[in-house]
């Protein structure tokens, strides 16, 4: 595998692509505010080269992701569409509840309950549930995966399938790293539990993002998560720009092609180009 090329900004490679499939958290915002240079890069690409689709593992439907991004100051005119794992999960819940009431064990904060609002779903305990839905930790600022050992064991004893609405393992909230639903799902799989994932790195979400971009001929994926963004884009056969100063920030020193190639190999991923942060 050739060494990755270090670039100073998106403008160096933009002309070779006709659409952008861009991660959100860690690239466009940090969970508290947006990155103005990233917003400018998205806007310039959209203006000069083609559509910009934000592809996120956020466990929220696209309209809620848009509202959250706007609350962080992201201008809505710098992208064309949003595709989210939350949207894909709600589509699956709609399908599962179409023929009768779905009894659901819910894991996540109350703020994400709009995921199931308006559907033929009844929240229950583990003993009555048909399936479990994992949005994330109830309080990701204080809890860890160990706090859910009893819950996961009870689910496994019942043989419940977990629907994971956010395959991300961790994410930045400001300067802190907090656990996401993917970490709970991973722990459940370790116990032998069955998990169905919606979002990156799984291929259906990329098909949805490419369709939202008009099925371009030469799309570029941008992301900071090697397990989700980069490996997913690799599986979808997309060119990739890796954002080094994201979730893997402490692992990218020294910032050299050789070190980055070794980091990619460790995760079974590859990106042809790398930049510190998304900018034009």
CATH number for the domain spanning 79: value is 3.40.50.1000
pLDDT digits (tens, 9 = 90+) for 31-42: 899 999 999 999
pLDDT band at 140 (very low <50, low <70, confident <90, very high): confident
Strands 121-123 and 102-107, sheet pairing: parallel
Range of the domain at 180: 88-197
pLDDT digits (tens, 9 = 90+) for 188-240: 999 999 999 999 999 989 999 999 999 999 999 999 999 999 999 999 999 99
Q: Where are the beta strands (DSSP E) in 186-259?
A: 195-197, 219-223, 239-243
Whether 19 and 99 share a structural domain: no
Q: Is 84 helix (H, G, I), strand (E, B) or coil?
A: strand
Whether 261 and 235 share a structural domain: yes
pTM above 0.85, yes or no: no
Whether 266 and 191 share a structural domain: no
Residue 168: the pLDDT is: 86
User: Is position 280 within any domain?
Assistant: no
Q: Give 2's Cβ-side CA count (13 Å radius).
A: 7
User: Is position 212 within any domain?
Assistant: yes
Domain count within the chain: 2
Whether 156 and 98 share a structural domain: yes
Q: Give 70's Cβ-side CA count (13 Å radius).
A: 9
User: Is position 244 within any domain?
Assistant: yes
Whether 79 and 92 share a structural domain: no
Q: Is residue 105 a contact partner of residue 132, using CB atoms and an 8 Å limit?
A: yes
Q: What is the mean pLDDT of residues 124-151?
A: 96
Instruction: Give the end of a domain, one of 197, 221, 244.
Output: 197
User: Is position 123 within any domain?
Assistant: yes
Checking if the pLDDT of 19 tops 90, the result is yes
- Rounded to an integer, what distance in angstroms lies between the CA atom of residue 160 and that of residue 142? 26
User: Is position 268 within any domain?
Assistant: yes
Structure tokens at 248: 């893997």
Checking if the pLDDT of 50 tops 90, the result is yes
Instruction: Give the end of a domain, one of 197, 215, 246.
Output: 197
Instruction: Give the end of a domain, one of 130, 163, 197.
Output: 197
């Amino acid at each position: 595998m050739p060494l990755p090329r270090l670039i100073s900004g998106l403008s160096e490679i933009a002309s070779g692509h006709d659409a952008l499939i861009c991660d959100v958290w860690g690239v466009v915002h940090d969970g508290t505010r947006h990155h103005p240079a990233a917003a400018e890069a998205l806007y310039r690409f959209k203006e000069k080269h083609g559509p910009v689709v934000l592809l996120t593992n956020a466990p929220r439907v696209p309209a809620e992701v848009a509202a959250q991004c706007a609350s962080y100051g992201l201008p809505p005119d710098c992208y064309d569409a949003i595709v989210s794992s939350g949207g894909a999960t709600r589509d699956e819940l709609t399908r599962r509840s179409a023929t009768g009431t779905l009894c659901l064990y819910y894991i996540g904060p109350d703020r994400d309950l709009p995921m199931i609002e308006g559907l033929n779903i009844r929240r229950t305990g583990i003993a009555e549930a048909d399936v479990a839905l994992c949005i994330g930790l109830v309080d990701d600022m204080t809890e860890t995966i160990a706090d859910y050992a009893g819950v996961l064991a009870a689910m496994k004893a019942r043989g419940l399938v977990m629907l994971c609405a956010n395959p991300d393992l961790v994410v930045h909230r400001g300067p802190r790293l907090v656990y996401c639903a993917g970490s709970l799902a991973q722990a459940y799989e370790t116990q032998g539990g069955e998990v169905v994932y919606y979002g990156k790195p799984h291929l259906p979400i990329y098909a949805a993002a490419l369709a939202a971009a008009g099925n371009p001929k030469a799309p570029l994926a941008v992301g900071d998560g090697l397990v989700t963004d980069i490996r997913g884009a690799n599986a979808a056969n997309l060119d990739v720009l890796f954002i080094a100063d994201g979730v893997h920030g402490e692992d990218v020193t020294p910032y050299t092609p050789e070190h980055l190639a070794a980091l990619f190999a460790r995760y079974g991923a590859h990106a042809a180009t790398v930049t510190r942060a998304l900018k034009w």
